């Protein structure tokens, strides 16, 4: 079972084998949670949104269309976060509050990690999203392009520029 | 190398990830050998990537898993087991289905028609009923009218009531017993005479016989009572016989009638 790809499993889920969703949950829920947590800086919210992502997976399983599963999954996560912000009239994450939160949360972690979080918090939202998805989730350019609605070439350039910015931010505090 | 700023530094990221195609990989390595700035940049990027890697993943609470599993169980319970049966259908079952369909259609049509018919019958009945009620009201109010001819008109409405109710009978009796006008009383008597078999009408006739002065009405009542063989009518008839002001031909009538009753 473990060897089956996400796509094949999701295929089986969409035709009625609901139990296989547990496998997908085990494989991905922490990544989804981390993406949302890195983007929002709010652990409770991220948990709720992650939960909702998997509810949607259950509910809309039949709308899965053979594409890369990870792209589909993170598109749902991304939309969840966006609609949460739209609902709460916060179109942009307040960078100040993010960096505060990450610093507060980072108290228990080591110095270097909070440096990275601090630097990430200073990036604009779309740069941060690209970095988070590419670095933490190890999502390839092709899938990343599907998630953010762009082309692989453009995404590649954007990621590398965002990484450059991050590098500068990271080292200027060191 | 002046071109290093853009083209090479953009590749460093992928170079570290080891995802560059081999010719580009070689190109980057050749450039790094000759460019100090790019080597520094690579080192910085390595440190940064190291920071990403050394960062522990945040772990959500167990609440997440349990609520997911709960939702999944709910969905499974609600899903119902779908069996896709690809069984062969014979033409007879198709035929039967079509026949059943047609039968259903015809039955539905017929029952719809019958219901419609019943409904319209009910409507007509309701209308008639309403009409009759209106007429009864008109009748009762006409009988209370000042003008004698109106009262007669009211009395004559009785023709529309094959089964008059208590209110009508009482109103007619009232006319017969109390109306000043002879013609009204006569008409009321004639109206009531059609229902002389009813006990109320009989009592009214006997009462009327005791007080009626108009000979033609007296005769009418006597004849009606004889026809129904009303025994209770004997006493008022005998009283009439004894009365001096009773017209002789009325007395005659009574004398002829009494033996018929007894």
ipTM of the complex: 0.72
Q: How confident is the model over A67-123, as pLDDT tens digits? A: 888 888 888 898 888 888 887 765 555 544 554 444 444 444 444 456 788 888 888
End position of a domain, from candidates A91, A115, A147: A91
- The count of CB pairs under 8 A between chains A and B is 86
Q: What's the number of domains chain B is made of?
A: 3
pLDDT at B103 exceeding the cut of 90: yes
pLDDT band at B90 (very low <50, low <70, confident <90, very high): low
Residue A67: alpha-carbon gap to chain centroid:
18
Average pLDDT over residues B45-50: 85
Q: What's the whole-model pTM score?
A: 0.51
Task: Answer yes or no: do A47 and B49 touch at CB < 8 A.
Answer: no
Task: Tell me whether A113 touches chain B (CB under 8 Å).
Answer: yes
CA distance B51 to chain A (A): 7
Cα–Cα distance, B125 to B133 (Å, whole number)? 12
* Whether residues A127 and A170 fall in one domain: yes
* Whether residues A64 and A1 fall in one domain: yes
Q: What is the pLDDT of residue A111?
A: 47
The helix (run of H) or strand (run of E) holding residue A108 is none
Residue A112 belongs to domain with CATH number: 1.10.10.10
Average pLDDT over residues B20-24: 85
Task: Tell me whether B58 touches chain A (CB under 8 Å).
Answer: yes
Task: Answer yes or no: do B69 and A135 touch at CB < 8 A.
Answer: no
pLDDT band at B250 (very low <50, low <70, confident <90, very high): confident
Q: What is the pLDDT of residue B3?
A: 55
For residue B82, which residues of chain A lie inside 8 Å, CB to CB?
Answer: 16
Task: Answer yes or no: do A160 and B79 touch at CB < 8 A.
Answer: no
Buried/exposed B62-93: b ≥16 CB within 10 Å, e otherwise: eebbeebeebbeeeeeeeeeeeeeeeeeeeee
Task: Tell me whether A114 touches chain B (CB under 8 Å).
Answer: no
B8 belongs to a structural domain: yes
Q: What is the pLDDT of residue A96?
A: 46
* Whether residues A54 and A121 fall in one domain: no
* Whether residues A108 and A158 fall in one domain: yes
* Whether residues B166 and B204 fall in one domain: no
pLDDT at B1 exceeding the cut of 60: no
pLDDT at B228 exceeding the cut of 50: yes
Give me the count of residues in chain A.
Answer: 174
Report which of A164, A162, A170 is spatially closest to residue A112, judged by C-alpha positions: A170
Q: What is the pLDDT of residue A2?
A: 53
For tokens 């409507």, name the residue.
B123
Q: How confident is the model over A137-166, as pLDDT tens digits? A: 778 888 888 888 889 889 888 988 888 888
* Whether residues A154 and A126 fall in one domain: yes
Cα–Cα distance, B122 to A94 (Å, whole number)? 75
Residue A48 φ/ψ, nearest 5 degrees: -60, -45
* Whether residues A129 and A147 fall in one domain: yes
Q: What is the pLDDT of residue B106?
A: 93
Let me know: does B250 contact B215? Beta carbons within 8 Å. Answer: yes
Report which of A59, A149, A163 is spatially closest to residue A119, judged by C-alpha positions: A163
For residue B87, what is the DSSP state? Answer: -
* Whether residues A76 and A103 fall in one domain: no
Q: What is the pLDDT of residue B111?
A: 92
Domain hosting B168: range is 123-181
Domain hosting A135: range is 94-174
For residue A173, which residues of chain B lie inside 8 Å, CB to CB?
Answer: none
pLDDT band at B109 (very low <50, low <70, confident <90, very high): very high
Residue A61 belongs to domain with CATH number: 1.10.1740.10
Residue of A nearest to B68 (CA): A51
Query: From residue A128, how far is each of A38, A95, A134, A148, B257 by CA, in Å?
Result: 9, 11, 10, 12, 124
CA distance A97 to chain B (A): 19
């Amino acid at each position: 079972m473990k060897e089956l790809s996400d796509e094949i499993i999701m295929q089986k889920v969409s035709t009625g084998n609901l139990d296989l969703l547990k496998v997908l949950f085990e494989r991905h829920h922490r990544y989804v949670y981390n993406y949302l947590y890195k983007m929002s800086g709010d652990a409770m919210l991220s948990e709720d949104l992650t939960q909702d992502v998997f509810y949607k997976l259950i509910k809309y399983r039949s709308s899965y269309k053979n594409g890369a599963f990870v792209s589909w999954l993170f598109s749902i996560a991304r939309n969840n976060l966006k609609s949460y912000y739209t609902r709460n009239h916060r179109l942009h994450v307040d960078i100040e509050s993010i960096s505060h939160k990450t610093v507060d949360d980072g108290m228990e972690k080591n110095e270097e990690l909070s440096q990275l979080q601090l630097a990430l918090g200073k990036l604009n939202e779309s740069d941060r999203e690209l970095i988070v998805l590419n670095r933490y989730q190890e999502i390839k350019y092709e899938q990343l392009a599907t998630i953010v609605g762009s082309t692989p070439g453009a995404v590649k350039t954007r990621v590398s520029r965002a990484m450059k910015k991050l590098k500068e931010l990271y080292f200027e505090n060191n | 190398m002046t071109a290093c700023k853009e083209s090479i530094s953009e590749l460093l990221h992928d170079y570290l990830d080891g995802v560059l195609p081999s010719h580009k990989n070689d190109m980057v390595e050749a450039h790094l050998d000759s460019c100090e700035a790019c080597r520094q940049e690579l080192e910085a990027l390595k440190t940064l990537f190291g920071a990403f890697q050394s960062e522990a993943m945040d772990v959500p609470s167990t609440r997440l898993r349990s609520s997911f599993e709960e939702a999944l169980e709910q969905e499974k319970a609600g899903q119902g087991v779908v069996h896709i049966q690809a069984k062969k259908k014979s033409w007879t079952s198709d035929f039967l289905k079509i026949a059943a369909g047609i039968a259903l259609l015809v039955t539905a049509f017929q029952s719809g028609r019958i219901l419609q018919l019943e409904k319209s019958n009910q409507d007509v009945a309701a209308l008639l009923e309403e009409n009759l009620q209106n007429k009864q009201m008109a009748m009762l109010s006409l009988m209370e009218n000042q003008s004698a001819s109106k009262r007669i008109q009211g009395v004559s409405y009785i023709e529309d009531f094959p089964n008059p109710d208590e209110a009508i009978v009482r109103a007619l009796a009232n006319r017969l017993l109390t109306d000043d006008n002879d013609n009204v009383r006569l008409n009321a008597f004639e109206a009531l005479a059609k229902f002389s078999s009813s006990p109320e009408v009989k009592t009214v006739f006997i009462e009327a016989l005791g007080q009626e002065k108009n000979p033609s009405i007296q005769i009418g009542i006597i004849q009606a009572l004889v026809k129904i063989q009303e025994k209770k009518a004997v006493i008022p008839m005998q009283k009439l016989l004894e009365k001096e002001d009773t017209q002789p031909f009325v007395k005659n009538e009574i004398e002829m009638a009494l033996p018929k009753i007894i």
